[in-house]
């Protein structure tokens, strides 16, 4: 019995000694690992600090470029913006300092921002490069309020943006294009119906999204431009001054928009409350890209009814910037073919949810993540689209309607090439072929603000050639 007890004590002693040896071997390794971990943590913190400072520099640059139209214009034209040319160092953010350079881009209306941040202790530097452009018309359909997309329209080539919710209704629910960006909720896509995650499918819709600023349209300038050219009434008076029998009760502004009740039928006035614009396609200035402005000044209603005779082929075909302060009614279809109309180079991005290797899935589709440079309205279509002869245009340009857009019956079907902004409701357009809106990314309108549309964002090596001030 005593011998067995001694053996047990020996085994315990050996085990204890073994454990001590293992611990003695592991402790230095653990200490070294802890030291490395601490260094890695410090290094990561330094990198993070420098990167956050670079982001602060980028944010400040965007603020500067957006602060006034003349600042953006100067940078776009290659002029130096003082304080934003690596000529000044800012230290108002804790942890270090930052600097930035704002310069001319390589394409039209493009500005390049290079932002650098430097950790104050280690002098570690991180750099960001952004390419932005001023897009006065950043999307195909936009709204400051709730945006309801109903049966009336199908939207192509450009995104939909709203500072409120986007609600898909009717046939639009089955359109998994274009991309939809909302500061609130995209319904019924968003499974939670609120601002809680998930807020996106990262393909077609984004709720709780930081939507870019919407353009503040310079209506005063546009109205003034629309009133500068002589506007003749049938009695030979100047309607710009709103005198004469054809003008006194209407109060409208139009750029080269002639009033003729009895002659060629370019215009009719059913009442002083809502002037009819009859057979726009035949108007001598309908393809001149003028500003057409219907104002509520004085006793004017701001309404307009685009009418004609569908059976006689007297339809719509108007190019310009249309500003309607009242309601816009469309009563006849379209008759404006347009060949080689430019497509946005990245229109394919709007179809990520449906895009495959097949072509012709959408207008101008040439295969997976690619689209044509141009489209022929009036002689070209796509799979599931209308007959090619029915893709001619009714309206081309930028259209702002402060009131309601009223599609009056099946004859009102028309294609729109440009961008549409309706403050009120879209009424009608159900039970017959849908009208189609195609985005023109080259549109510009006078605005009171700079709307920066990001083109690209990337981290780049810092500029070691230019010393910090």
Domain extent listing, the chain = 2-136+453-460
CA distance 276 to 352: 41
- pLDDT band of residue 34 (cuts 50, 70, 90) is low
- Residue 32: its pLDDT value, please? 64
Please choose, from the candidates 273, 236, 274, 241, the residue with its C-alpha nearest in 3D space to the C-alpha of residue 258.
Answer: 236
DSSP H helices in 68-163: 69-76
Q: What average pLDDT does the chain have?
A: 80
Average pLDDT over residues 359-376: 96
pLDDT digit string, tens, across residues 400-425: 998 888 887 777 888 999 999 888 87
Average pLDDT over residues 107-131: 91
pLDDT digit string, tens, across residues 214-225: 888 998 888 777
CB atoms within 10 A of CB 451: 19
Per the model's pLDDT, the better-predicted residue between 465 and 17 turns out to be: 465
Is the N-terminal amide bond of 120 cis, ω within 30° of 0? no
| Coil vs helix vs strand at 196 | coil
- Residue 23: its pLDDT value, please? 65
CB atoms within 10 A of CB 8: 10
Contact partners, residue 28, CB within 8 Å, separation at least 6: none
CA distance 78 to 72: 10
CA distance 417 to 357: 26
Average pLDDT over residues 423-430: 71
Q: Examine the pLDDT at 303 and tell me if it is beyond 50.
A: yes
Q: Which of 171-180, 322-331, 460-469 has the lowest mean pLDDT?
A: 322-331
* DSSP labels, 316-369: B-EEEEEEESS-EEE-S-B-B-EEEEEPPTTGGGGGTTT--S-S-SSTTEEETT
Question: Kind of pairing, strands 253-254 and 290-294?
Answer: antiparallel
Please choose, from the candidates 112, 94, 116, 92, the residue with its C-alpha nearest in 3D space to the C-alpha of residue 104.
Answer: 112
Please choose, from the candidates 316, 314, 310, 338, the residue with its C-alpha nearest in 3D space to the C-alpha of residue 328.
Answer: 316
- Residue 305: its pLDDT value, please? 82
Q: Examine the pLDDT at 45 and tell me if it is beyond 80.
A: no
Asked if residues 87 and 97 have their Cβ atoms less than 8 Å apart, the reply is no
Asked if residues 73 and 90 have their Cβ atoms less than 8 Å apart, the reply is no
- Residue 408: its pLDDT value, please? 79
Q: Phi/psi at 3 (nearest 5 deg)?
A: -65, -40
Q: Which of 71-75, 134-138, 192-196, 274-278 has the lowest mean pLDDT?
A: 274-278
pLDDT digit string, tens, across residues 216-258: 899 888 877 766 543 433 433 333 333 334 433 333 333 333 3
Q: Which of 90-94, 305-309, 384-388, 432-436 has the lowest mean pLDDT?
A: 432-436
**Residue 176 has which token pair?**
């998994």
Average pLDDT over residues 49-60: 93
- pLDDT band of residue 311 (cuts 50, 70, 90) is confident
Contact partners, residue 332, CB within 8 Å, separation at least 6: 306, 307, 308, 309, 310, 314, 315, 316, 411, 412
Length of the chain (residues):
469
Average pLDDT over residues 268-277: 52
Per the model's pLDDT, the better-predicted residue between 347 and 429 turns out to be: 347
Q: What is the DSSP letter of 390?
A: G
The b-or-e profile of 105-134 (16+ CB within 10 A means b, else e) is beeebbbbbbbbbbbeeeebbbbbbbbbbb
pLDDT digit string, tens, across residues 77-103: 999 999 999 999 999 999 999 999 999
Please choose, from the candidates 139, 204, 133, the residue with its C-alpha nearest in 3D space to the C-alpha of residue 454.
Answer: 133
- Residue 282: its pLDDT value, please? 80
Q: Examine the pLDDT at 171 and tell me if it is beyond 60.
A: yes
Share of the chain above pLDDT 70, in %: 78
| Coil vs helix vs strand at 296 | coil
% helix, strand, coil for the chain, step of 5: 20, 30, 45
Judged on CB neighbours under 10 Å (0-12, 13-18, 19+), 359 is middle
Please choose, from the candidates 151, 168, 150, the residue with its C-alpha nearest in 3D space to the C-alpha of residue 431.
Answer: 151
Alpha-carbon distances, residue 96 vs 7, 58, 91, 126, 129 (angstroms): 67, 15, 6, 12, 19
- Residue 262: its pLDDT value, please? 31
- pLDDT band of residue 313 (cuts 50, 70, 90) is confident
CA distance 100 to 387: 53
**Residue 323 has which token pair?**
């500003």
Q: Examine the pLDDT at 358 and tell me if it is beyond 50.
A: yes
- Residue 62: its pLDDT value, please? 92
Contact partners, residue 97, CB within 8 Å, separation at least 6: 53, 89, 90, 91, 117, 118, 120, 468
Share of the chain above pLDDT 90, in %: 38
């Amino acid at each position: 019995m005593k011998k067995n007890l001694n053996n047990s004590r020996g085994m315990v002693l050996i085990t204890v000694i073994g454990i001590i040896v293992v611990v003695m071997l592991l402790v230095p390794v653990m200490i070294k690992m802890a030291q490395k971990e601490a260094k890695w943590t410090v290094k990561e913190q330094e990198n993070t600090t420098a990167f956050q400072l670079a982001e602060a520099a980028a944010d400040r640059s965007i603020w500067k470029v957006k602060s006034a139209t003349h600042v953006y214009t100067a940078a776009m034209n290659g002029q130096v913006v003082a304080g934003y040319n690596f000529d000044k160092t800012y230290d108002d953010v804790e942890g270090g300092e930052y600097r930035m350079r704002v310069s001319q881009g390589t394409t039209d209306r493009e500005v390049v921002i290079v932002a650098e941040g430097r950790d104050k202790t280690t002098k570690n530097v991180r750099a960001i490069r952004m390419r932005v452009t001023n897009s006065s018309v950043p999307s195909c359909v936009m709204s400051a309020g709730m945006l309801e997309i109903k049966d009336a329209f199908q939207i192509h080539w450009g995104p939909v943006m709203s500072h409120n919710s986007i609600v898909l209704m009717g046939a639009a629910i089955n359109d998994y294009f274009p991309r939809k960006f909302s500061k609130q909720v995209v319904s019924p896509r968003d499974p939670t119906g609120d601002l809680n995650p998930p807020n996106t499918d990262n393909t077609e819709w984004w709720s709780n999204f930081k939507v870019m600023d919407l353009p503040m349209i310079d209506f005063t300038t546009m109205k003034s431009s629309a009133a500068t050219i002589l506007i003749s009434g049938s009695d030979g008076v100047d309607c710009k001054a709103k005198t004469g029998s054809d003008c006194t009760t209407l109060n409208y502004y139009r750029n080269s928009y002639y009033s003729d009740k009895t002659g060629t039928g370019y215009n009719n006035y059913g009442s002083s409350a809502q002037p009819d614009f009859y057979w726009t396609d035949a108007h001598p200035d309908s393809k001149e890209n003028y500003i057409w402005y219907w104002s509520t000044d004085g006793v004017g209603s701001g309404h307009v009814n685009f009418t004609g005779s569908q059976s006689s082929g007297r339809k719509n075909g108007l190019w310009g910037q249309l500003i309607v302060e009242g309601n816009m009614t469309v009563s006849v279809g379209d008759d404006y073919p347009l060949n080689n109309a430019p497509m946005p180079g990245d229109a394919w991005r709007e179809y990520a949810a449906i895009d495959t290797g097949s072509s012709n899935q959408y207008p101008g589709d040439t295969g997976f993540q690619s689209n044509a440079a141009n489209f022929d309205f009036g002689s070209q279509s796509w799979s599931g689209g209308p007959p090619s002869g029915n893709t001619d245009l009714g309206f081309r340009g930028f259209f702002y309607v402060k009131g309601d857009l009223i599609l009056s019956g099946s004859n009102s079907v028309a294609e729109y090439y440009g961008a549409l902004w309706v403050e009120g409701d879209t009424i009608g357009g159900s039970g017959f072929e849908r009208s189609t809106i195609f985005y023109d990314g080259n549109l510009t309108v006078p605005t009171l603000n700079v709307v920066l549309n990001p083109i690209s964002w990337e981290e780049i090596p810092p500029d070691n050639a230019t010393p910090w001030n």
